Amino acid sequence: MALMLFTVFLDLLGIGLIFPIGPFYASAFGASAFDVGLLFTMFSVAQFLTIPILGALSDRYGRRPVLLIGIAGEVVGYIVFGVATSLTMLYLSRLIAGASSGNIGAAQAYIADISTPRERTHSFGLLGAAVSVGFLFGPALGGFLGAYDLRLPAYAAAVLVAINWITVFVWLPEALSVELRSTRPLTAGLNPFGVLAGLLRRPLLRAPLTATFLCNFAFSGYLTSFALFTSARFGWGPQQVAIVLIIQSIMSIAIQTLGVRYLSTLLPDTSILVLGIGANLLGFLVIAFAPDPLILYIVSAPLQATGSALWRPSLSSLITKLVSGNEQGLANGGSQASSALATIIGPMGAGVLFEQVGTTAPFLAGAGLFALAALTIALAVRIQSGLRRSRIDVAPAIRSR
């Protein structure tokens, strides 16, 4: 478990290194604001297209080969980013990195493979903490290195991810035994929309996957519009926004590491999920109606941290319990594809609402989406007994439905 968490941490540390310097580096090649946005969108699009494929491959050939291929691709993507001599090369680098980062589905499947159903929610909480730590330190290190040379963060990311590849190659054992590997045709995993449609045809997976899309849609819109909102309403600059996000990240790490473990011994995944969604819903309303910027530090940040720290691992854990052992890659790939699709569309929707409706519109709409997600889960739990038993392995129930 510790080695897999370290692998995910290094992977996300590399991704985070690029975030603060990407817009400035692209501007050096004459990129417009639209070009910069497209640079980040292409990463998410490529990730969306490859996540189900890599997840299905990991079900058939094992987690370790897919992780190694994905990490190697990320190294290439960061090197191309660093040596880029044109905007076209930057686009190419983000396509390569995005496609390669689709191995996150295999990483989640690995965690599911080595965790018992009762441990799984806590395990995914630790995975989320590793992601949060990577995103906390990655941008800070990227900003520091970028002050000397805008190419340095890309080279540093390539080195870190190369170390990650060596770590996986030398020390990480395979988690999926040969007898549990899938024999489904690989062509079934080539179309991400087809994968999602196939998973949505399973009654027990409809509500969790719908909630995955709605929550990520709302939260990605928050990340896009929070700085714009605070600048327009309170005259904030990057420093104040960064402080709120750092507070939020630190609290999220603590909750995912300690709080999720405690709650998972008391409550089923569905209850933890609804609690997290409720916290984010309240957090969005607090932002929209905040009369004073201090509220964002002492009320909004804790609510946002608590919300995402609870609903992310509980959703991931719930989905892994609703499929059999040889479908973990497929299910996690489908879940991550749903997240990636929401991350592509969400920021654009929030931007349109901010410009055309009003500065509070993205947060009010986001609160509505979180309410819809909570209602979807609550109704599904009431109707489907399999979701009420989410603290135990309910995969046998899937096969009988």
Domain residue limits, the chain: 1-176, 188-401
Q: Look-up: residue for tokens 């590849």?
A: 165
Pick from 202, 198, 378, 186: which is nearest to 281 by CA? 378
Beta strands in 86-240 (DSSP E): none
Q: Are 137 and 249 within 8 A, CB to CB?
A: no
CA 188 from centre of chain: 24
Strand, helix or coil for residue 153: helix
Through-space distance between the first and last CA atoms of the chain, rounded to whole angstroms: 32
Amino acid at 196: L
For the chain, helix, strand, coil in percent to 5 are: 85, 0, 15
Distance CA 256, CA 134 (A): 14
Q: Are 367 and 288 within 8 A, CB to CB?
A: yes
Query: Mind spelling out the 3-state secondary structure of 220-260?
Result: HHHHHHHHHHHHHHHCCCHHHHHHHHHHHHHHHHHHHHHHH
Evaluate whether 1-176 and 188-401 have a shared fold. Answer: yes
Pick from 37, 310, 125, 346: which is nearest to 216 by CA? 346
pLDDT tens by residue, the chain, 401 residues? 788 888 888 888 888 888 778 877 888 888 876 787 778 778 888 888 888 888 888 888 999 999 999 999 999 999 999 999 999 999 999 999 989 987 777 888 899 888 888 888 888 889 888 888 887 888 778 888 888 888 999 999 999 999 999 999 999 999 888 888 887 776 666 678 888 888 889 988 999 999 999 999 999 889 878 888 888 899 988 678 878 888 898 999 999 999 998 998 889 899 999 999 999 999 999 999 999 999 999 999 999 999 999 999 999 989 988 888 778 888 888 888 888 889 888 888 888 898 899 999 999 999 999 999 999 999 999 888 767 655 444 444 344 33
Distance CA 376, CA 207 (A): 6
Does 1-176 carry CATH code 3.40.50.2300?
no
188-401: CATH superfamily: MFS general substrate transporter like domains (1.20.1250.20)
**pTM, rounded to two decimals:** 0.81
